[in-house]
Structure 1
Amino acid sequence: MSEDVRASDGADDLALDHYLRDIDTGKSPVAENTPAGDGEWGVLKVSAVQEGWFQSRENKVIRDAAHIQPRFEVRPGDLLMTRANTEALVGLACIAETPPPRLMLSDKTLRLVVDEGVADPAFVSLALLRPAVRNQVRAMATGTSAGMKNISQRQIRQLRVPRASLEQQRRIVAVHAAFERRIGALEQVLGKLDLAREALSSQALSESQRAGWRVSSLDEVATVAAGVTLGSEPVGEGTVELPYLRVANVMDGRIDTSDVKSVRILQAQRERFALRKGDLLLTEGGDLDKLGRGAVWDGRINVCLHQNHVFRVRCGAQMSPDFLALYASSIEGRAYFQRVGKQTTNLASINSTQVRKMPVPVPPVEEQDQLLGPIRVVRGRIAVIERLVAKLRLVQLGAVEDLLGGRACTPSQRQVAPIS
């Protein structure tokens, strides 16, 4: 990587205000907590601004036309930033590349109007995601009793970002974009594979396939158990501290162990709450359409527990956990959880009795394995590509950080960056 691609080495940083013409803030009118439909106006939630990307569905519909103010509409290419959020998320920035029409800024989302004579908005967006800048934001942000953090426009203008010529900025953006093209191509492949997996799953559970299968309640073919209740941990001798999985770790079809917490329990309770490889984990609560989401535990953590809001389903000899997971995530399985789930103002939940009474198809074990074969092949290909995407993201992050920090790319980064 040539010297002129590099940005500042840190000693010559400048205030973000140098790159800005203005900062716009929006309004937060009364709105319903549901996304705007076609032709409707919506106001952005703070969750619309993710780490480097824009989530347009994160908005609330505005029903009262008197509250609609078109001057706050998000425009293609806008650089957006959150001024209020949790400590980890306050001050996040992204480019709204192609936002749908009729989305308004809220009073918690800012539009940074970049002076394009001296700065590329995409470069400013990358600079704002640097760990050094994120640390500045966390240090500046002030807290509230609700756990939210705020950062003012004055503080935003004072953020120290790399000094770089417009030519240098555009070259750094080009390196980032090269990674995005490569990652985007892989994500398109993932999308096709996911469609194939869904088609195979539907075929495996089709009416014609199920002819002759018996149907049993779940508790006839598996045992269901709740996990550790938090809040009153024992102390002293006879206790042990162990990792546990909570609702946030249990995704739809996979277990995320990037952030696993620990809990202290009595040594005598260890076997009761410990997971085994092959246990199906199902979530107790959340949005109604996410009730009962889950995945099969692969035993990647030697001794791991589960929280009481995550049900552990341990299959007997008549049921493959992978087949049960397939059924639980099917349209029919989802419909059962939505039908029996208890809905409150913000959340829905199911209890262990409802899980135990869930009717499930029980084909012969040999047939279960046969039906799962093609699905496992596709899942394997998906896992390989997901690992490659994750690796490219790390290399991309390191390459852009090196350039923003005034360091040249490593040989491996130079090799990957030009891929289109």
Structure 2
Amino acid sequence: MSIVQVAPFKVLTSWSPPGSQIHASDWPMVQMSELAAEIKMAAHAPASDEIVRFAGVRWYGNGIFVREERTGDQVIGKCYPVVPGALIYNRLFGWKSAFALVPPEMAGVMVSNEFPQFRINDEVADPEFVNPVCGSETFAKVVLSRSTGTTAVSRNRLRVQDFLDLVVPLPPLVVQHRVVADRNARIAEAERLLVDSAKRRESAWIAFEGALGVVTAEPVGVTQTVSIARFAGLSRWDAEALDSETALLYPTEPLDALADIRLGCQVPKKGANASGVTRPYLRAATVQRGRLDLSDVRNMTVPQAQAEALVLQAGDLLFLEGSGSLQEIGRCAIWEGQIERCIHQNSVVRGRITSDRLVPAFAMAWFNSTPGSAYFRAQATTTSGLFHIGAGKTAKAPVPVHPAAVQVELAEALWSEIAAAETDEARATTLRAQAATEFDAAVFGKAQAGAA
């Protein structure tokens, strides 16, 4: 027989009845109030010229960080110092797993009253165990049911009392320590892989650019001769490095001397009665730096002749034509024929190499390098916060023309190192996922899973 719980409406704090709790573990279930005590702090009154740093708590258990600085006269409302070692959460986003332990280096940083803090009773619970429990997906689902407010995005608060009323699985301390150690070992290995991959990427690019002979001249001092240019001769006000230049081992040529350049077509407006053929197409999000993201390829209908003119061929260079980030404009990838009869949108410029003097993999490396991408940043124009380069400026992008054999050697050396770095990054992602999965199994699964 089913048991129905009845409660007066006035005692409900959310649409979920009181008692919505975790029931997925065979470990003893302990109320949070037995593990955590709220820390009542006196509000800090900053001097008007004091620099006050404010903290935020990232979602999904990704820690606490300094999000902004203000002078004391800009501080509105009360602020409270964070307590190193305390468990802290964001009332508004507890349901997004916005929990963290405050590290020692955050001493002196402030938060608003939307960030309650708790001292964990370390005689029964390891703070490093409680924190990932609170940051888990299982806990987040319960927090969402217990949060109150009118909208999930901006008013769905987890009150302190509701947090303290929640129950969590509590293995013996020795098991907590072991589960935390296993989790931390996975995460530490993931961090090591990410650090190593970043160093590997940096070294690969330095070696590539060094082999090209990249040398940036020292900036011209104010006491030296100053070059004067007519305004009409300037491509933009903030053109990069008018007072420095890159010395390469081989001369450069404009890209259109070695490749056919073409801008893609505009996607028909929604509701337009488009006729012709339907083709998959590449857009801005598809073209990443040195790779293509084909996880969300869409279709559009265009006239037959246009579709034939825009169909991509293996070896085509693809450039990001427009972006909200100046640093990303002109990023380059190579099409390898992954999708049949694929075309490209007008947010992508295609460069089809027509000369055997330019190797596609080398060209992609050059245009993604610091000196190669500088041209696009210098030549980009902006409208309404978006930067554009267009097909015309892409066509004139300079590219050094080394002997083809040298291009192949340099490109292979670079991209093999990048591939190795990507392998490490994928492994780091896997390790992080394993850490979360194994922790959840040990805590929220059967007691035997954590005791094995």
The question of a shared fold, defined as TM-score above 0.5 by the shorter chain, is answered with: yes
Please point out which of 275, 283, 296 is paired with 1:260. Answer: 296
Distance between the aligned counterparts of 2:257 and 2:366, measured in 1? 15
Q: Residues 91 and 332 from structure 1, CA distance in 2 versus in 1: closer, same or farther, beyond 3 angstroms? A: same
User: What code does the residue aligned with 1:286 have?
Assistant: G
Give the 3-state SS of the residue equivalent to 2:261 in structure 1. strand
Q: Which amino acid aligns with 1:20?
A: A
1:24–1:198 CA distance, 2 compared to 1 (3 A): farther
CA deviations on 1:94-119 (whole Å, 9 max, x unpaired) are 44546456543356655455444443
Q: In structure 2, do the counterparts of structure 1 residues 175 and 73 end up closer, same or farther at CA, with 3 Å as the change threshold?
A: same
Partner AA of 2:413 in structure 1: P
Runs of 5+ unmatched residues, structure 1: 1-6, 28-38, 415-420
Distance 1:92 1:274, change over 3 A: farther
Displacement of 1:216:
0.9
In structure 2, the CA distance between the partners of 1:72 and 1:402, relative to structure 1 (3 Å rule), is: same
SS at match of 1:229: coil
Secondary structure, aligned partner of 2:62: coil
Residue 196 and residue 236 in structure 1: after superposition, are their counterparts in 2 closer, same or farther (change >3 A)? closer
Indicate the larger mover: 214-223 or 120-129: 214-223
Q: Deviations over 1:282-321 (max 9, x none)?
A: 2621233333344445555667665554544444434333
Q: Is residue 67 of structure 2 the alignment partner of residue 59 of structure 1? A: yes
Aligned residues of 1:282 and 1:294 also touching (Cα < 8 A): yes
d(CA) in 2 for partners of 1:237 and 1:117? 72
Cα-to-partner distance string for 1:150-179 (whole Å, 9 max, x where unaligned): 431325555554343443322221110121
Contact kept in structure 1, 2:254 and 2:395, CA below 8 Å: no
Which residue pairs with 1:385 in the alignment? 424
Q: SS of the residue aligned with 1:290? A: coil
Determine the C-alpha separation between the residues in 2 that align with 1:210 and 1:66.
50
User: Structure 1: which amino acid aligns with 2:251?
Assistant: W
1:180 is aligned, of 170, 184, 187, to 187
Q: Which secondary structure state, in structure 2, belongs to the residue aligned with residue 152 of structure 1?
A: coil
- The answer as to 2:334 corresponding to 1:325 is no
The alpha carbon displacement at 1:362 in A equals: 3.2
Q: CA RMSD in A?
A: 4.5
1:152 corresponding residue in structure 2: 157
| TM-fit CA distance, 1:84 | 4.1
1:49 is matched by which residue type in structure 2?
R
**Contact 1:193–1:382, Cα closer than 8 Å, also in 2:** yes
1:43 maps to which residue? 54
2:98 is the counterpart of 1:92: yes
Against the structure 1 CA distance between its residues 328 and 167, is the aligned structure 2 distance closer, same or farther, given a 3 Å change threshold?
same
TM-score by length of 2: 0.67
Cα offset for 1:203?
Answer: 0.9
| Shift in alpha-carbon separation, 1:357–1:237, aligned structure 2, 3 A | closer
* 1:280 Cα deviation from its structure 2 partner: 3.0
Distance 1:280 1:158, change over 3 A: farther
TM-score under structure 1 length normalisation:
0.71
| Aligned mate of 2:111, from 80, 105, 109 | 105
1-structure distance, mates of 2:374, 2:258: 21
**Equivalent residue, structure 2, for 1:22:** 38
The alignment-based identity, stated in percent, is 21
Which amino acid in the other structure matches residue 61 of structure 1? E
Aligned partner letter, 1:215: E
Which has more radius of gyration? 2
C-alpha separation between the residues in 1 aligned to 2:276 and 2:90? 47
User: What is the aligned length?
Assistant: 385
* Structure 2 spans left out of the alignment, 5+ residues: 1-21, 44-49, 216-246
Distance in 2 between the 1:336 and 1:193 partners? 25
Given that 1:402 and 1:409 are in contact with CA atoms closer than 8 Å, whether structure 2 keeps it comes out as no
Alignment of 1:66-77 (within 5 A): 67=75, 72-77=80-85
**Is 1:81 equivalent to 2:92 in the alignment?**
no
* Shift in Å, 1:232: 1.3
Identify the range of structure 1 (295-304 vs 58-67) with the bigger mean alpha-carbon deviation: 295-304
- Specify whether residues 377 and 95 from structure 1 end up closer, same or farther in structure 2 by C-alpha distance, changes over 3 A only: same
The 3 A distance-change label for structure 1 pair 113 and 274 is farther
